[in-house]
Amino acid sequence: MSMNAALLLNRDLLRRALPGVTLAVLLAPIFVMKPITMTQFGLTLIFQYAVPIALATIAQMFVIAVNDLDLSIGAFVGLVTCIAGLYLPTEPILGIVLLLLCIAAYAAIGALIHLRNLPSIVVTLGMSFVWAGLAVLLLPTPGGKAPDWLHALMNLKVPMVPFPIIAALVIAVLVQAALMHSSYGVVLRGSGGNPKAVARAGWSLLKTKMMMFGLAGTFGVLSGLSLIGLTTSADAHIADRYTLYSIAGVILGGGAFIGGIVSPAGAVLGALTLASAGWLLGFLHISPDWQIGAQGAILIIVLTLRALISRGAGR
């Protein structure tokens, strides 16, 4: 192997390792300031809400993979919590039907964007008001109740390793295998990376778009279910920040807004990073009003590092 090839390989490995390195850099000062966080109990607290954030991030990743952007995922997750809190404990069949209709609606949004060549930012921004409005109509004030089985699942006690970390790893492995290492996963990603080639190969871009948006809706539903399993009650505005979290998680994990460039494992690491960042900022006594700005600064730093690595690789 030539020196230039070895240098390019090292830079590529560094770029792939950046999401994990970022998470480690954030966790290190937490462990130093609060050694108890290195215990199973401490890690469970840090990553308690990592699962719903990771699922919302994966939902966003499917949309970004086809060169679109979803500005409604936070409101959608909030709606899911309201449906789950109101209907799953007492009328589970109705609740399941409503959640399936929500997933179908997401797939229909993908079809609308493709058929009418509409900007996804505008469509999903409008849908965010629709989802939020429906959630408020269903549940004007916080309430409802998580099903007992869902609460038990999200608070599962596992020996040695905290359940949120296990759940995040399972999500990463399953989606990574399906999207990155299967033949149909190549087609789905190709519809964002090179749609003309996918169309020439005989694949329907409409179907791939609907599939990716349908998957986004599916993981949005899973995010809402896991969230209410943790909080035990529903709130129309409980996941308003998840839209920004999901976008940041995908980008922190190595994704890009164009070209169908995504990384499921990286996206989950990005979600874990965002979950731990709040604890670090809290330990540093940074006001909650400033924490979103601080998390944005972390994102900018990571993007700058990635750009510097890529620029070096291109020389």
Tokens of 55: 């699922």
H/E stretch holding 178 reads helix 163-180
Q: Buried (b) or exposed (e) across 269-293, using 16+ Cβ within 10 A?
A: bbbbbbbbbbbbbeeeeeeeeebee
Domains of the chain by residue range: 20-307
> Does the pLDDT of residue 295 top 80, yes or no?
no
Provide, rounded to the nearest whole percent, the portion of the chain with pLDDT above 70.
Answer: 93
Query: Measuring CA to CA, which residue among 203, 179, 183 is closest to residue 260?
Result: 179
Confidence at 315, pLDDT banded by 50, 70, 90: very low
The mean predicted confidence, pLDDT, of the chain is: 89
How far is the C-alpha of 52 from the C-alpha of 277, rounded, in Å? 16
Rounded distance between C-alpha atoms, residue 296 and residue 298, angstroms: 5
Question: pLDDT digit string (tens) for 70-82?
Answer: 999 999 999 999 9
Kindly list the distances between the CA atom of residue 147 and the CA atoms of 9, 86, 96, in Å, as whole numbers in the listed order.
Answer: 49, 10, 12
pLDDT digits (tens, 9 = 90+) for 10-43: 566 767 788 888 889 889 999 998 898 888 888 9
CA Rg value for the chain:
20
> Could you give the 3-state DSSP secondary structure of residue 75?
helix
Whether residue 217 is predicted with pLDDT greater than 90 in this model: the reply is: yes
pLDDT in tens, 225-251: 999 999 999 999 999 999 999 998 999
Q: What's the pLDDT score for residue 298?
A: 76
Q: Which of 248, 236, 90, 225 is nearest to 167 (CA)?
A: 225
Q: Which residues pair with 234 in a beta bridge?
A: 143
User: pLDDT: is 133 or 305 the higher one?
Assistant: 133
Q: Which of 17, 26, 27, 55 has the alpha carbon at shortest distance from 246?
A: 55
Q: Do residues 53 and 275 lie in contact, with contact meaning Cβ atoms separated by under 8 Å?
A: yes
Report which of 47, 43, 101, 48 is spatially closest to residue 76, judged by C-alpha positions: 101
Rounded-to-10 torsion of CA 131, 133, 135, 136: 160
Contact between 247 and 69 under an 8 Å Cβ cutoff? The reply is yes
* Predicted local confidence at residue 7, as pLDDT: 46
119 in Cβ contact with 64 (< 8 Å) = no
Mind listing the pLDDT tens digit for each residue in 58-67? 999 999 999 9
User: Looking at residues 258-285, what average pLDDT do you find?
Assistant: 87
- Say if residue 123's pLDDT is above 50: yes
Q: Which residues make Cβ contacts (< 8 Å) with residue 102, sequence separation at least 6?
A: 76, 79, 80, 83, 217, 220, 221
Percentage of the residues of the chain whose pLDDT score is greater than 90: 65
Average pLDDT over residues 191-207: 92
Residue 68 predicted with pLDDT over 90: yes
Helix, strand or coil for residue 234?
Answer: strand
- Give yes or no for residue 9 having a pLDDT over 60: no
38: left (phi > 0), else alpha (psi -120 to 50), else beta? Answer: alpha
The most distant pair of C-alpha atoms in the chain lies apart, rounded to whole Å, by: 66
pTM of the shown model: 0.93
pLDDT above 50 (res 185): yes
